[in-house]
Amino acid sequence: MSEPRDCHPIITVRGLRNAFGEQVIHDDLDLTVCRGEILGVVGGSGTGKSVLLRSIIGLQTPEAGDIEVLGENMVGRDEDEAKNIRRRWGILFQNGALFSTLTVAENVEVPIREYYPFITPPLLDEIASYKIAMALLPPDAGPKYPAELSGGMVKRAGIARALALDPELLFLDEPTSGLDPIAAAGFDELIRSLQKRLGLTVFLITHDLDTLHSICDRVAVLADKKVIGIGTIPELLALDHPWIQEYFNGPRGRAAADSYEEGARA
């Protein structure tokens, strides 16, 4: 499928190959993410969704291929050069990945302290409080530890930390995993709201069909070691690939589509 006509690429992956020994995960994978969109990335178990994310952010060195993020080449960069690029994005890993021995506010302050060590209290505390509020957490969440939070609050705290450096780009790895349907829907609404208000581009790995229907502008499908299709869900459904048809046209896929259509009509 071709890119949208008005696409301004913020992530470009060409000819990506990842392998662990003889196990090839990606082979000649291409992907373009357009500025300002929420791109959902889906695929079956073992298709390398998280490996793709790690390759894009520089935590996984590919065997071959080119990766550009925010106009900068990410393959073979030294650590200092990569660090200058990384300050322009935020990441929410699975399960929040908060530091358990730090409070929520201290977790949010970690990237600020790393990149802007000259910022000290009380400004540092004010920034953390602002980011916590942006994630729609109550003010009293700041001094709490991750173990004192619900699963949904941990995810929101992770978003607050991901927003700490005012990023242009957000990477989210299974952000609604483990949440009940109400909390998941609330988290989806938060992501869409932040994307619109801040002009973010969002790269979102998920298996949540409700998320794909409700907030994703396009969806990329990983299978057969590459991106086999990318586009809106109706565009993907026009492709005659068994995994796509089973995933989106199976009972859960149809239920999610019906729920989204009912909500859109309401």
pLDDT, one tens digit for every residue, the chain (266 residues) = 557 778 999 999 999 999 999 999 999 999 999 999 999 999 998 899 999 999 999 888 999 999 999 999 988 877 777 788 889 999 998 777 899 999 999 999 999 999 999 999 899 999 999 999 999 999 899 999 999 999 899 999 999 999 999 999 999 999 999 899 999 999 999 999 999 999 999 999 999 999 999 999 999 999 999 999 999 999 999 999 999 999 988 777 666 666 656 656 55
CB 39 within 8 A of CB 203: yes
Q: Strand ranges (DSSP E) for 78-237? A: 89-92, 169-173, 201-205, 218-223, 226-231
CA distances from 248 to 192, 212, 241, 252 (A): 22, 10, 11, 8
Burial of 57 (0-12, 13-18, 19+ CB in 10 A): buried
**152, 179 Cβ separation under 8 angstroms:** yes
Read off the pTM.
0.92
Contact 244, 221 (CB under 8 A): yes
> Taking a C-beta distance cutoff of 8 angstroms, is the pair 134, 180 a contact?
no
For residue 260 the two structure tokens come to 């989204």
Question: What domains can be seen in the chain, in order of their start residue?
Answer: 37-64+80-265 (3.40.50.300)
Measure CA 226 to chain center.
19
Dihedral of the alpha carbons of 26, 232, 167, 18, in degrees to the nearest 10: 0
State the Cα–Cα distance between residues 166 and 172, nearest whole angstrom: 15
Residue 103 and residue 144 in contact, taking contact as beta carbons nearer than 8 Å = yes
